A and B are shown apart, each in its own frame.
Chain A
């Protein structure tokens, strides 16, 4: 069952650091948001494989939006 990885804060996607197929450990950044002039990583909640990153650099995301799917 794929897990939705959600943004915990509203901001702009500063950097997409993973792509589909990447293996990640829990706590690894999947994308980095810029909010309140800070770089805020959206971290993998557990180890897994990234199925899809759903956002692009420069895109605005709201708190609670899904930024990636984790296998």
Chain B
């Protein structure tokens, strides 16, 4: 054949392979409310920037079960392109080819993408829509040669951003990919993940359970905490990924993108004066404080449905990316429990890994106490948060909005945890514990001995309450300033600008022993 015919042949091959598992399988994919792997990649990447790797790959199995099987691209579309002008790599499992199962050739392609992403320091996005390992190819002890992907993903963690979008099933092999990733959006209704799918669960432990009950988006975004965001469809899932990546640098060697900001730095929001109720025992919605102080009111909340007593998410202030950790008095009074501590610790590690400054908004009555949380390991989980906030060397700014009690004050980046600026609203209550608890411990004998114990207790409580006053903390120079709530935005942005060149040297160690 001459060049012209060769090119014609190439184009014909491409046309066929671009049809994925064939029109019938594609129609079924669409009927299930899902886009195809190629349609998802088209939405992710800036127009005409995608470069595919491994289009012509196909299974090489000599197993009789695989004989005569056609596996276009071997069931996974891989390559790189640009997202908002920056290079990003992607692995998109193709459910129309053998249910997106992980074949050996396909996994060779994935390994190549991981290598490209790591050595070129660019983010990696997985679209997971896969039945898991292709057992037709890897029956029995062929398994002994697999498992590289999780080791490689672990090594990549904290070097480049890792996104694993659940857009269909993810069983066993494909469920640990999100387990190790930084950001895991899940499409409502079509996605689910579990270490063992329903048939395996039935066979091994005898439980009857649907895929959705076992590992749907509600389970993982509200109960297990594995999912980061429940999204309504494939399109909004890809939009969420693009939004998430916009806050992150391409790798840990870079600063996050600085975007032009048309929201005035010195904007003073009057509503900040009316959010915190006069009664200190009453709840309010901390999200209102967040949206009033960030650029354009835009807050990209992560894990909004899980451990709702603590809020985490990304925003910009003065055009700079910022991770926000805030107590939520509206849910359980904002108390910290095992899940809230876990949620905060992991998010702090994420921001610190990718040079994203942290803002802490404190209104915390403390860590939950009692036998239930002790058995859940609140000490271990609380220690996780202490560890993460201590390790974080990114710029840190703390605003004490109201309550700052006990170790809650510490883990929310109190004075001892190296905030680059720590300020308090006039409503701040900073103390080891509340007046009632403290009085009962300190003056137990005096109260018992008094002719009127209840009157004595009330008097002591009132006296102790006077010691809880932010001007005492500011007077000792432990808190840098007391601010008008309206000044929060300008003060935080000025602190971020000041702390931009922050450098902290730590003693050499291989790594700490993180209380996971």
Contacts and interface: CB of A to CB of B under 8 A. Distances in A.
Interface of A: 8-10, 34-41, 62-63
A38 B365 contact: yes
A36 B367 CA distance: 9
A35 B372 contact: no
Contact of B281 (A9, A38, A62, A63): A38
Interface stretch (B240-248, B263-271, B326-334, B448-456): B326-334
Contacts of B437: 37
B368 interface: yes
B281 A37 contact: yes
B372 A36 contact: no
Contacts of B332: 8-9, 35, 40
B382 interface: no
Contacts of B369: 36
26 contacts: A8-B332, A9-B333, A9-B335, A9-B368, A10-B368, A10-B370, A10-B372, A35-B333, A35-B335, A36-B333, A36-B366, A36-B368, A36-B369, A37-B333, A37-B365, A37-B437, A38-B329, A38-B334, A38-B335, A38-B365, A39-B281, A39-B282, A39-B283, A40-B332, A62-B372, A63-B372
Dominant SS among interface residues on chain B: loop
A63 B283 CA distance: 19
Nearest to A63: B372
Contacts of A9: 332-333, 335, 368
CB-CB nearest 6 A-B residue pairs: A38-B333, A36-B365, A37-B434, A39-B281, A36-B335, A9-B332
Interface size class of B (residues with CB under 8 A): 10 to 19
Interface string B355-398: 00000000001101110100000000000000000000000000
Interface in B420-454: 434, 436-437
A30 to B, nearest CB: 15
B4 to A, nearest CB: 68
A56 to B, nearest CB: 20
A38 B363 CA distance: 11
Contacts, number: 41
Interface of B: 281-283, 329, 332-335, 365-366, 368-370, 372, 434, 436-437
Contacts of B368: 9-10, 36
A38 B282 CA distance: 7
Contact of B283 (A8, A37, A38): A38
B363 to A, nearest CB: 10
A64 to B, nearest CB: 9
A41 to B, nearest CB: 8
A9 to B, nearest CB: 5
A38 B437 CA distance: 13
B510 to A, nearest CB: 39
A10 B436 CA distance: 18
Contacts of B436: 37
Contacts of A63: 372
B370 A40 contact: no
A18 B154 CA distance: 52
A10 B20 CA distance: 54
A36 B368 CA distance: 7
Contacts of A39: 281-283, 333
Contacts of A34: 281
A22 B281 CA distance: 26
A41 B281 CA distance: 11
A39 B437 CA distance: 16
Nearest to B369: A36
A36 B329 CA distance: 11
Contacts of B372: 10, 62-63
A39 to B, nearest CB: 5
